[in-house]
Amino acid sequence: MDWSVLGENAGLLAQGLLVTLEVSVSALILALALGVAVATLRVAPSQPLRAIAAAYVEFLRNIPLLVQLFFLFFALPSAGIRLPAFVCGVLALGVYTSAFVAEAIRSGISAVPRGQLEAGLSSGMRYATVMRTIVLPQAVAKTIPPLGNTALNLIKNSSLVSTISVLDILGTANLIGARSFQYVPMFVGAAICYLILTLPAAFAVNRLEKRYAR
Amino acid sequence: MSAAIEFSGVQKWFGPNHVLADIDLSIATGEVVVVIGPSGSGKSTLLRCINGLEAVQQGTVVVDGRRLTAQGGELAAIRREVGMVFQAFHLYPHKTALENITLAPITVKRIPREQAETEARALLERVGLPEKAGAYPAQLSGGQQQRVAIARALAMQPKVLLFDEPTSALDPEMIKEVLDVMKALAHTGITMIVVTHEMGFAREVGDRVVFMDGGRIVEQASPEVFFSAPSNPRAQLFLSKILRSEGALS
């Protein structure tokens, strides 16, 4: 085992780390935007809208992410749609994760007791004002733990983009390992790179959770 | 006295359950009406129809001259005139006592924050909790939470106050502090409708007792008449049970 391979390729691994970060952050933004929209539909007064949103969530979260990723990268080109690997990765990760974001937010909203809405309405506030000042702030607090988990899973799930030729952390480590036959140092290095991203994220989530725990 | 609240021919069903049947009830401005009856008799539903938390299916409810079929903005306007105190308090847990009280005046009436806070402190003084302005609901006892909730309901300067079993979730030693606040309010001329099992309160401050059973108002009388000689057999049975258990306590 030759650990010097790690030092020699530290720059490439760091580049891979940046790619993982880019994929994760882009996908997270997409997942949050779609997730909030879908969660809003899931508590909408209209039954058809709720059904569509429920179907969206169940469909996406019950098909393996790798299948969705391969569909975008390998199957869509035969329909004439050819997207760069990075874009496929962000799309698949973001859309898949949005189902979990939507569930987290929906359960946060429904975890706020109905009496809160009634108390607000009784004092003469409009529905939208009650939502904004009373229900959603409490829902956010209840949503932080599951959303934090979802974000951490997203970072780890992003390693799947290495299967469609994106040189993220895992893709880079795998490539150098194959060239040098030094798989052990390279995968240990990859693991450390992921921890560099996930541990601070986990720490931040814990801090937020404590701040909002009331 | 003009009618503050008027129910005419009100009917309401929850699925197959006829929860409000043939309700005709007129409540005068400044009157204190105590609604009693067995659980499931429709007392809370009756109360919740007054501020539109429940909609009636037939008949009309008129509050302060406005009919309660209104939607959206107009319903909110009626609700500004009608404060409500809940059995489970429903204080906003992420806001301090002071913020609980000032939220509606600031967001609905657009009262400047400083003025709203001055008024809120006066209200906290009135319910005997001047030192709790900065406390969060979780830091308050049940009785204190309910008194903050009363202050919150008063902050919008409503013409009518609804109390939905305000002491039922409280430990016995806290019931008195809440009832004392309510008694003081009853003498200010605000219209109060109180759903409660506190017979002592009904006797002491009620102008009228309304007895409900099976979704109907089966007897209405002044407290003196009702408690000494109820004419309806179900009211007699209810009273004998509840007074016996109160006797057992004392």
| Pairwise pLDDT comparison (B173 vs A55), residue with the higher score | A55
pTM check: above 0.80: no
Domain of residue A144, CATH code: 1.10.3720.10
Q: What angle do CA B108, B109, B111 make, to 5 degrees?
A: 120
d(CA A192, CA A170): 11
| Nearest Cα to Cα of residue A124 among B4, B141, B202, B154 | B154
Distance from CA of A42 to the nearest CA of B (A): 22
Residue type at B206 in one-letter notation: G
Does A130 reach chain B within 8 Å, measured CB to CB?
Answer: no
Range of the structural domain that residue A177 is part of: 4-213
Chain B residues whose beta carbon lies within 8 Å of the beta carbon of residue A116? 90, 92
- The beta strands (E) that lie in chain A are given as none
Residue type at B135 in one-letter notation: A
Question: Given this model, what pLDDT does residue B250 score?
Answer: 46
Q: What angle do CA B3, B6, B12 make, to 5 degrees?
A: 165
What does the pLDDT look like over A58-82, one tens digit per residue?
Answer: 999 999 999 999 999 999 999 999 9
Whether pLDDT at B242 is above 70: yes
Q: Which two tokens stand for residue A3?
A: 């650990």
Domain count within chain A: 1
d(CA B167, CA B181): 12
Mutation for testing the A interface, residue in B53, B75, B81, B92 having most A CBs under 10 Å: B92
Name the pLDDT band for A132 (thresholds 50, 70, 90): confident
CB A104 within 8 A of CB A143: yes
Q: Is B90 close to A124, i.e. CB distance below 8 A?
A: no
Burial letters B94-116, b for 16+ CB under 10 A, else e: bbbbbbbbbbbbbbbeebeeeeb
**Of the ranges A130-139, B66-75, B188-197, which is most confident?**
B188-197
d(CA B86, CA A124): 15
Burial letters A190-210, b for 16+ CB under 10 A, else e: beebbeebbeebbeebeebee
Mean pLDDT (whole number) for B29-42: 94
ipTM field: 0.91
Chain B residues whose beta carbon lies within 8 Å of the beta carbon of residue A124? 76-77, 79-80, 104, 108, 156
| Residues on chain B bordering chain A, Cβ-to-Cβ distance under 8 angstroms | 51, 53, 72-73, 76-77, 79-80, 82-84, 86, 88, 90-94, 103-104, 107-108, 136, 138, 152-153, 155-156
Q: Which two tokens stand for residue B93?
A: 């847990």
List the 107-126 stretch of A: residues with Cβ below 8 A of B. Answer: 113, 115-116, 118-126
Whether pLDDT at A30 is above 90: yes
